[in-house]
Amino acid sequence: MMKIAIGVSGSSGSRYAKILIESLSQIKDVELGLVFSQNARVNWNLENPEIKWDQYPLKYYDVADFSAPFASGSAGWDAVIICPCSAGFLAKVAQGLADDLMSRAAQVMLKERKKLILVLRETPFSLIHIENMRMITLAGGIVCPAIPSFYSNPQSLDEVLSTVTNRVIDLCGLDSKSYRWGK
């Protein structure tokens, strides 16, 4: 059983989180934990009005709940995905800050040498963003900017966004069963 925590930060792009949650929920032998920042809830309601942020039949954790299992390396969680990841959250992780559950979980993944995937939703990048991405990469994290691909010829907005979320699923070591180049 793979254990994955998904943190949704306050950046625009919660539709990526929606698709990721729904896709990972369909993969057997995956346990999910969800954390939403306060701003993430606001953006979710604006960007996904057809579905409530807390309607999935999964375990939710409050952003202030440091007793959540993935707040400690001893709990053995395999990955933390922050999707979308704001530039502010990226900076927090790059500087080693852990003042809420999402940032603590990110620090745990780095110290335990486990998967930390930050789906950065920002453009353009400033030098500060680039330096923060560099720091996280050097620490063992993966920065996966929310930049879709088009060679699979996606036909809808969700299919375009899925080119990013499928990549994230693959980065976790799971099979997204998505389009493969050259096949």
The rounded distance, in Å, linking the Cα atoms of 146 and 130 is: 15
For residue range 34-88, what is the model confidence (pLDDT) as tens digits? 999 999 999 999 999 999 999 999 999 999 999 999 999 999 999 999 999 999 9
In degrees and rounded to multiples of 5, residue 112 shows phi and psi of -90, 0
Task: Return the closest-CA partner of residue 109 out of 5, 32, 2, 1.
Answer: 5
24 in a structural domain? yes
- On the question of a cis peptide bond just before residue 84, with omega within 30 degrees of 0, the verdict is yes
Domain CATH number, residue 14: 3.40.50.1950
Q: Kindly report the pTM of this predicted structure.
A: 0.96
Q: Which position has the token pair 């995937």?
A: 117
**Number of domains forming the structure of the chain:** 1
For residue range 109-124, what is the model confidence (pLDDT) as tens digits? 999 999 999 999 999 9
53 in a structural domain? yes
